[in-house]
Amino acid sequence: MSSLSSARLGRSIALHLFLTPLALIWLFPLWMMVVFSTMPDNGIFSPGIELLPHGNFMDNFNNLQRDTDFVGAIGISVSVAVTYTFLSVLLTSMAGWALARYRFVGKGVVVAIILGTITLPYAVVLIPQFIMVARDFKLANTWVALIVPPLFNSLGVLFMRQSFSMMPDDLFDAARVEGVKEWRIFLFVALPLARPMLAALAIILFLASWNNYLWPLLINSQPGSMTAPVALGTLIGLTKVSWGGIMAGAVMLTVPMLVVFVLLQRHFIAGIAAGAIK
Amino acid sequence: MRYQNATAYRFLAPYLLIFAIFWVWPIIDSFMISFQATRTVPWRFAPTFNWGRLIGDPAFFNALKNTLLILVIQVPVMITLALVMAVLLNSPLLKARGLYRFAFFAPVVVGEVAYSAVFRLMFNLNFGIINKLLNSVGLPSVDWFSNVTPAMALIMIAVTWRWAGYNAIILLAGMQSIPEDVYEAATLDRVSKLRQFFFITLPLLKPVIVFCLVLSIIGTMQLFTEPFLITERGGPGGGTETLGLLLYRQGFRSLNFGYASAVAYTMAGLAIAITLVQLWLTREPK
């Protein structure tokens, strides 16, 4: 017995000896992001090795705000992400509900098409989407342009279909016998029961909108209508720019999401793992 | 159960409307645009204008070569690493599991712009922490941005850092859905942990691994932000230009929508072909 447990101890030590350096390497870029954001520019571009935070965050932030209206861009990003998340959760769960709970003509086709879009590169729809929104609808540099086209998502619908189809029939049949309308059953019986799944979905959608880069870069390119990642991206590669400021912006984009991740880790992981659950 | 067409489609309507306007129509439109000369007003139908240019365009083959190179190296490395992470995070021997999970999963929430900026600074030639650390152990500095091979390596390192944990989350969820008693029976039969991994975990995890591979291939196929921001518009001299970047340059810098659509359809064709091969290679034996 003692030899067994000492073998286990050896294996446990080997496991930690391997995993700890890997974890530190993985945390390193995030740690350096924080360190850079607190260093003056001449400190970032100096020969010494600096691995600990300094006290220059506010100066860097002021430099960033001088280079671009980052606070305004954060305001746009937050408003867009909140609106997008609300609308997308609603649309996605309605569609998931229909696919999970009703029998209807064309159901197989709808599911097959949704599955098919998973393997279709977004690049294929990008150009016509841009032409349509910018030229035909004349909606470039508006919130609508940021919010509406990305509303379609396939994994979210499949996740909600899975969630609703696992609920027992009796719950809804009881309400139907009472003559309750279908949309009321959806809103007041099904959605409250799906709360954990909705939370997972909402977090993933919020994050997707918050970090979205290519579409906002193309469609909202006017200063004053840019989202925060786009505003920050315009600074990267400029010659006369405060890199401490860019890092302060990166921290402001990243740290709130890390806090959300730590607090709601279970929902987060459930949302990402959703694709794998059959 | 009886048919409830009206009710079902009422719930589906808003979703399908968005889908029709912003996906179905663009898929068709994109195909048609690829057969038009779009730099004249009005656009005119010219079936070989873009596709003919595509097959003779060195910039296209350069981008295609770079994209496939990244695909062939980065995706297998990342999926293997994600598998290692998932197996080790799943080990009952692991202490402080939450900390390790945080380390590997945290990059999932980091935006492309934020991490591209950090990687640019970290890999700076003279003042980047990576070269300083290399020097401190006696290794020479690497010029990550002026030479093609290190620049490609940098792109692959960055993408792997960003996405390995994402795949590990999916793989871990898959592993945890494998019933415990399968392993208990194997342990009773004195099957080693390593053999358990290869003969139980891997086969049962195959659909999940394929799912991760397909998602990663589609993602890497469209790689844009990293070569755009980290290696400065696909530098050095187009050495890290990808199909995604070529599409951006042609479509949105030169406003040549026809040619960009042809590039987009090439990406889609490749993605579908690779996915089909993947599914065929990993099909269940009948």
Q: Is the pLDDT of residue A2 over 60?
A: no
Q: Model confidence over B226-254: pLDDT tens digits?
A: 999 999 899 898 999 999 999 999 999 99
Taking residues B9-22, what's their average pLDDT? 95
Q: A152 vs B22: CB contact, 8 Å cut-off?
A: yes
In chain A, the number of structural domains is 2
Q: In this predicted structure, what is the pLDDT of residue A4?
A: 61
Q: pTM (2 decimals)?
A: 0.92
Tell me, yes or no, whether A199 lies in a domain: yes
* ipTM of the shown complex: 0.90
In chain B, the number of structural domains is 1
Q: pLDDT above 70 covers what percent of chain A?
A: 97
Give the highest mean pLDDT range of A93-102, B201-210, B275-284: A93-102
Q: Model confidence over B16-52: pLDDT tens digits?
A: 999 999 999 999 999 999 999 888 888 888 888 899 9
Contacts of A152 in chain B (CB under 8 A): 15, 18-19, 22-23
- Looking at the structure, do residues A18 and A94 belong to the same domain, yes or no? no
Helix (H, G, I), strand (E, B) or coil at B36: strand
Tell me, yes or no, whether A173 lies in a domain: yes
Q: What tokens appear for B144 in the block?
A: 């990550």
In angstroms, the CA B259 to CA B38 distance is: 8
Tell me, yes or no, whether B131 lies in a domain: no
Do residues A170 and A122 make contact, with C-beta atoms less than 8 angstroms apart? no
Q: In this predicted structure, what is the pLDDT of residue B211?
A: 86
A118: confidence class by pLDDT, cuts 50, 70, 90: confident
DSSP A72-135: HHHHHHHHHHHHHHHHHHHHHHHHHHHHHH-B-TTHHHHHHHHHHHHTS-THHHHHHHHIIIII
User: Looking at CA atoms only, how far is residue A96 from chain B in angstroms?
Assistant: 8
Q: In this predicted structure, what is the pLDDT of residue A3?
A: 58
Q: Is the pLDDT of residue B6 over 80?
A: yes
User: Residue A214 belongs to a domain with what CATH number?
Assistant: 1.10.3720.10
- Looking at the structure, do residues A27 and A98 belong to the same domain, yes or no? no
Angle in degrees, 0-180, between the axes of helices B148-176 and A265-273, rounded to the nearest 10: 100
- Looking at the structure, do residues A141 and A15 belong to the same domain, yes or no? no
- Domain of residue A11: give its range: 2-58
Residues 6 or more apart in contact with residue A176 via CB below 8 angstroms: A185
In angstroms, the CA B225 to CA B229 distance is: 6
Do residues B13 and A110 make contact, with C-beta atoms less than 8 angstroms apart? no
Q: Model confidence over A215-225: pLDDT tens digits?
A: 999 999 998 99
Q: Radius of gyration over alpha carbons of chain B, in Å?
A: 23
Q: Is the pLDDT of residue A226 over 90?
A: yes
Contacts of A236 in chain B (CB under 8 A): 113, 116-117, 120, 229
Q: In this predicted structure, what is the pLDDT of residue A273?
A: 82
Q: B174 vs A237: CB contact, 8 Å cut-off?
A: no
- Domain of residue B274: give its range: 30-111+143-281
User: Looking at CA atoms only, how far is residue B141 from chain A in angstroms?
Assistant: 13
Q: In this predicted structure, what is the pLDDT of residue A276?
A: 45
Distances (CA, A) of A127 to A223, B62, B65: 22, 22, 23
Q: pLDDT above 70 covers what percent of chain B?
A: 99
Q: Which of residues 47-76 of B touch A (CB under 8 A)?
A: none
Q: Give the Cβ contact number of residue A48 at 10 Å.
A: 7
Tell me, yes or no, whether A15 lies in a domain: yes
Which helix or strand (DSSP H or E) is residue B44 part of? strand B44-45
Tell me, yes or no, whether B2 lies in a domain: no
Q: Give the Cβ contact number of residue A13 at 10 Å.
A: 11
- Looking at the structure, do residues A95 and A20 belong to the same domain, yes or no? no
Q: Is the pLDDT of residue B283 over 80?
A: no
Q: In this predicted structure, what is the pLDDT of residue B192?
A: 87
- Looking at the structure, do residues A140 and A11 belong to the same domain, yes or no? no
Q: In this predicted structure, what is the pLDDT of residue A277?
A: 43
Q: pLDDT above 90 covers what percent of chain B?
A: 67
In angstroms, the CA A217 to CA A196 distance is: 33
Tell me, yes or no, whether A210 lies in a domain: yes
Q: A254 vs B110: CB contact, 8 Å cut-off?
A: yes
Do residues B37 and B255 make contact, with C-beta atoms less than 8 angstroms apart? no
Please say whether the dihedral angle defined by the alpha carbons of residues B173, B179, B181 and B184, taken in this order, is positive or negative: negative
Do residues A269 and B169 make contact, with C-beta atoms less than 8 angstroms apart? yes
Q: B11 vs A36: CB contact, 8 Å cut-off?
A: no
Question: Which of A233-242, B30-39, B71-80, B272-281 shows the lowest per-residue confidence on average (mean pLDDT)?
Answer: B272-281
Tell me, yes or no, whether B127 lies in a domain: no
- Write down which residue in A37, A58, A79 finishes a domain: A58
Residue of A nearest to B279 (CA): A119
- Looking at the structure, do residues A91 and A183 belong to the same domain, yes or no? yes
Tell me, yes or no, whether A220 lies in a domain: yes
Contacts of B63 in chain A (CB under 8 A): none
- Looking at the structure, do residues A10 and A107 belong to the same domain, yes or no? no
User: Residue B227 belongs to a domain with what CATH number?
Assistant: 1.10.3720.10
Q: Model confidence over A7-56: pLDDT tens digits?
A: 888 889 999 999 999 999 999 999 999 999 999 998 888 888 888 999 99
Tell me, yes or no, whether A29 lies in a domain: yes
Taking residues A125-143, what's their average pLDDT? 94
Tell me, yes or no, whether A255 lies in a domain: no
Tell me, yes or no, whether A260 lies in a domain: no
Tell me, yes or no, whether B3 lies in a domain: no
